[in-house]
Structure 1
Amino acid sequence: MKIVKIPIEMIACFSEKGIPHPLKFKINKTGDGPPTIVKVNMIIHMESEKTAGNPMYVFRCQSTIDDVLKVYEIKYELSTCKWFVYKI
Structure 2
Amino acid sequence: MKVLATPIEVLAHFETNCRPRPLRIKYKEKEFRIAQVVSTAEEKLAGNRMLVFRCQSEIKGELRPFEIKYELNTCKWLLWKM
**TM-score band w.r.t. shorter chain:** over 0.9
Using the TM superposition, give the Cα deviation of residue 68 of structure 1 relative to its aligned residue in structure 2, in angstroms: 2.1
Report the Cα distance in structure 2 between the residues aligned to 1:77 and 1:66, rounded to whole angstroms. Answer: 28
Name 2:14's counterpart in structure 1. Answer: 14
> Mapping of 1:9-88 within 5 angstroms?
9-28=9-28, 35-88=29-82
RMSD: 0.7
Identity over aligned residues, as a percent? Answer: 44
Using the TM superposition, give the Cα deviation of residue 6 of structure 1 relative to its aligned residue in structure 2, in angstroms: 1.3
> Alignment length, in residue pairs?
82
Extract unaligned runs of 5+ from structure 2: none
Q: Which structure would you say has the larger Rg?
A: 1
Moved over 3 A (4+): none
Using the TM superposition, give the Cα deviation of residue 39 of structure 1 relative to its aligned residue in structure 2, in angstroms: 0.3
Report the Cα distance in structure 1 between the residues aligned to 2:30 and 2:59, rounded to whole angstroms. Answer: 9
Per the normalisation by structure 2, the TM-score is: 0.96
Extract unaligned runs of 5+ from structure 1: 29-34
